[in-house]
Structure 1
Amino acid sequence: MMIRPAELAAIKAGTVDLAFRRWARPRVVVGTRMRTAVGLIEVTSVEQVGVASLRAEDARRAGAPSLAALRAALAARPDDPAWRIGLAYAGPDPRELLRESIPDADEIAAIHARLDRLDGASAHGAWTRETLDLIDLHAGVRAPDLAARLGRETPDFKKDVRKLKELGLTESLAIGYLLSPRGQAVVDAGLPEPRVRRPREEGTPLPRAIGAPATRALRAAGLTTLEQVATRSAEELAAMHGVGPIAIARLREALAEQGAELAEE
């Protein structure tokens, strides 16, 4: 179930608790917890509704500008029934907490055992340590470039990196990946001495939703965190090649979630 960034922020804030979709059949069930950019979103109800029965209160709770706008949004695919989905913020993504958790010796041994099982189940041989090391040495590098270094197809490489993310060992950046503190501890445990790394950047990372072209343009201008972006106006951002209206809208949404905004707004 796709939910726009602005709606996710509103669900987290508690100002939106409904969504409406046209589906042939329900794609979520009560109790479903979805991992999103703002944390876990839980489905609290699912029921079929008639579009004509919707009221202004439904539109307000869904974050729609008006009842007419909500009905217009549901005008597509009229042959599919409409569904009212109750939504609630269910807390941070557990992987975020896991990433910051530094494992002790027993945990590191258990993680390595898990990595061994992933290697053993792979059709292309052992890959986990090589991939962790590659991400560690090339943080923020595009996934296709990392995959090419290993002679692998990008979709399969990304699928494997997601397995490492589930273990709390990697983080996804707007472009590329980064080892989490937990992942760094696991890698360092296999080295003669801990690896010297650049200090982690302070601040909130740029949202992935802005896209790679906008991310590259902002990085080139020295803007690598939301806090830095907030020092610029929308006009200044729009003047950067690769930063279009959609990217600026996503940046506004991400800043609003933190109670901030672009300069001169």
Structure 2
Amino acid sequence: MMIRPAELAAIKAGTIDLAFRRWARPRVVVGTRMRTGVGLIEVTSVEQVSVASLRADDARRAGAPSLAALKQALAARSSDPAWRIGLAYAGPDPREALRSAIPDADEIAAINARLDRLDAASVHGPWTRETLDLIDLNPTVRAPDLAARVGRETADFKKDVRKLKELGLTESLAIGYLLSPRGEAVVDAGLPTPRERAAREDGTPLPRSIGAPATRALRAAGVTTLEQVATHTAAELGAMHGVGPIAVTRLGEAMAERGLAYRAE
């Protein structure tokens, strides 16, 4: 179930608690928890509704500008039933805490056993340690470029990286990946001496929702965290080639979630 970044922020803030979709059949069930850019979003209800029965309060709770706008959005695919989905913020993504949890020797042994099972189940042979090493040595490099270096299809490579992310070993960035502190500990445990790495950037990484062109433009200007974004005005960033209005809006939304804002004009 796709939810726009602005709506995710509003669900987290509690100002949106409904969504409406045209589906042939429900694609979520009560209790479904979706991992999103703002944390976990839980489905609290799912019911089929008549568009004619919708009221202004439904539109308000769904974040629509008006009842007419909500009905217009539901006019597409009118042959499918309309569904009213209740939504609620369910807390931070547990993988965030896991990524920063440094494992002890027993945990590292358990993680390595899990990696061995992933390798054994793979149709293209062992891949877990190679991928961890590849990300560790090439942070923030695009997934297609990393996949090409090891002769993998991008889609399959990204699917495998997601398995490492589930273990708390990697972090997905707006462009590329980074080993988490947990992942670094696992890699270092297999080396004669810990690997030397560049200091981890202080601050909140740029959100993935702004897109690769905006991320590249900001990085080129030395802006790699939301805290650094907050030292600029919206107009300054909007003037950068590659940073469009949508990216400026999404940066503003991401900053607002953390009590930050653009510098005043």
Q: TM-score, normalised by structure 2?
A: 0.97
Q: Post-superposition, which runs of at least 4 consecutive aligned residues in structure 1 deviate over 6 A?
A: none
Alignment correspondent of 1:34: 34
Establish whether residue 68 from structure 1 lines up as the match of residue 60 from structure 2: no
The one-letter code of the counterpart of 1:73 is A
CA distance in 2, matches of 1:170, 1:17: 31
- Equivalent pairs counted in the alignment come to 265
- Give SS of 2:217's match: helix
C-alpha distance in 1 between matches for 2:75 and 2:46: 19
Shift of residue 75, structure 1, vs aligned partner: 1.4
Secondary structure in structure 2 of the residue aligned to 1:129: helix
**2:230 aligns to what?**
230
* Aligned counterpart, 1:242: 242
Partner of 1:51: 51
Alpha-carbon separation, structure 1, partners of 2:259 and 2:53: 35
Residue aligning to 2:186: 186
Q: Deviations over 1:11-53 (max 9, x none)?
A: 1111111111111111111111111111111100001111111
| Identical-residue share of aligned pairs (%) | 84
Which residue number corresponds to residue 217 of structure 2?
217
TM-aligned CA deviation for residue 237 of structure 1: 1.3
The answer to which of 182-191 and 72-81 deviates more is 72-81
Give the alignment's Cα RMSD to 1 decimal.
1.1
Q: Distance in 1 between matches of 2:29 and 2:12?
A: 20
The residue aligned with 1:264 is 264
CA distance in 2, matches of 1:15, 1:259: 17
Q: Which residue of 2 aligns with 1:170?
A: 170
CA distances 1:189-224 after superposition (whole Å, capped 9, x unpaired): 011111111111111110101111110000000100
Q: What TM-score do you get using the length of structure 1 for normalisation?
A: 0.97
Task: Look up the SS of the partner of 2:161 in the other structure.
Answer: helix
5+ residue gaps in structure 2? none
CA separation in 2, counterparts of 1:53 and 1:258? 38
How much has 1:91 moved relative to structure 2? 1.0
Determine the C-alpha separation between the residues in 2 that align with 1:175 and 1:181: 19
CA distance in 2: counterparts of 1:161 and 1:207, whole angstroms: 19
* Secondary structure, counterpart of 2:47 in structure 1: strand
Q: Which residue pairs with 1:8 in the alignment?
A: 8
Q: CA deviation at 1:263?
A: 2.2
Equivalent position SS for 1:31 = coil
| Matched residue type, 1:31 | G
Whichever residue aligns with residue 108 of structure 1, its letter is I
